[in-house]
């Protein structure tokens, strides 16, 4: 159970970071999916290297975590896309006042 919680927070962080730094919505979702799958593969290989090489469910886990990262990035991206124009407008106002 604790592994799932740790993986959940890692995937959530990757999804949020990809949505913040990648401007295109779908591209950010794809980056999040690949990043989540890569981090999952690295975690499994570091924590249980012998089991990952012999277990056929390792590949299924990579696919599952990638899809989960894509879905979570889509959900997080909706809120970011709604509030990004307001954040940019406030930043433009602050820049205008300084100049």
pLDDT in tens, 26-72: 899 999 999 999 999 998 888 888 877 788 888 888 999 999 999 99
- Above 60 in pLDDT, residue 99? no
Closest among 31, 44, 39, 29 to 77, alpha carbons compared: 29
The CA distance from 24 to 30, in Å, is 10
Number of domains, the chain: 1
With contact defined as beta carbons under 8 Å apart, do 13 and 36 qualify? no
The CA distance from 33 to 43, in Å, is 15
Domain that holds residue 53: 2-98
Rounded to the nearest angstrom, the gap between the alpha carbon of residue 51 and the centroid of all alpha carbons in its chain is: 25
- Mean pLDDT on 4-25: 87
């Amino acid at each position: 159970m604790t592994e799932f919680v740790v993986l959940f927070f890692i995937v959530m962080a990757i999804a949020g970071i990809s949505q913040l730094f990648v401007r295109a919505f779908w591209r950010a979702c794809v980056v999040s999916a690949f990043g989540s799958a890569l981090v999952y593969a690295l975690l499994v290989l570091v924590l249980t290297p012998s089991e990952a090489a012999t277990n056929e469910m390792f590949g299924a886990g990579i696919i599952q975590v990638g899809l989960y990262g894509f879905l979570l990035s889509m959900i997080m991206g909706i809120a970011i896309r709604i509030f990004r124009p307001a954040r940019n407008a406030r930043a433009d106002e602050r820049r205008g006042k300084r100049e």
